[in-house]
Amino acid sequence: MPEFSTNHSLDKISFHAESIDFDLQQAEAIAFWLATVVNTENKALQSLSFIFCNDEYLHQLNVEYLQHDTLTDVITFPYSRPEEPIHGDIFISIDRVKENAATFEKPFLNELHRVMVHGTLHLAGFGDKTPEEIQVMRSKEDHYLTILKN
């Protein structure tokens, strides 16, 4: 299991806004939670940046880097190999999160936290392409959301 130092890990998680005015509520608590997720998944952490943006900004990234001409709520960019400490960026469309929260009748923050842990789990090596991967991903998201609420 990787060495875990709370203060050290929190320094490695950052939150930014691009093309929107957005401040993450309880950023320090969220960073601690995400560091706990990484640690629980037996991964080390080099750096993890969350960039909150709008649909237009994320759509452009989706087209430019992934050749997907669709709206999405999250795009994860890993900069390390699976055996290395996690190093990556997670871009999140606040527009999509708001719409998904309304569609699924969930509070905005619950949906935002789900997307944040989803991206983190991608960087920890979990996929969501097959039905089995989707089931594992959803189960882990639900588990970590429960931890955050406690």
- Domain 6-149 top-level CATH class: alpha beta
* Cα separation, 122 vs 6, whole angstroms: 21
Report whether pLDDT(2) > 70. Answer: no
* Cβ contact 62:105 at 8 Å: no
pLDDT for 149 equals 78
* Cα separation, 115 vs 33, whole angstroms: 14
Token duo for residue 141: 């998201």
What's the mean pLDDT in 101-112?
97
**Amino acid symbol at 47:** S
* Cβ contact 120:38 at 8 Å: yes
* Cα separation, 90 vs 52, whole angstroms: 8
Q: Which residue in 96, 25, 20 sits closest to 52, CA to CA?
A: 20
* Cβ contact 72:62 at 8 Å: yes
Model confidence over 40-53: pLDDT tens digits? 999 999 999 999 99
Report whether pLDDT(22) > 60. Answer: yes
What's the mean pLDDT in 93-120?
98
Task: Please report where in the chains the tokens 């050290």 appear, as a residue.
Answer: 8
Q: Which of 9-18, 21-30, 83-92 has the lowest mean pLDDT?
A: 9-18
pLDDT for 150 equals 64
* Cβ contact 75:53 at 8 Å: no
Report whether pLDDT(78) > 80. Answer: yes
DSSP-derived 3-state class of residue 82: coil
* Cα separation, 59 vs 73, whole angstroms: 9
> What does the domain layout of the chain look like in residue ranges?
6-149
CB neighbours of residue 143 within 10 Å: 12
* Cα separation, 89 vs 48, whole angstroms: 6
Percent of the chain with pLDDT over 70: 93
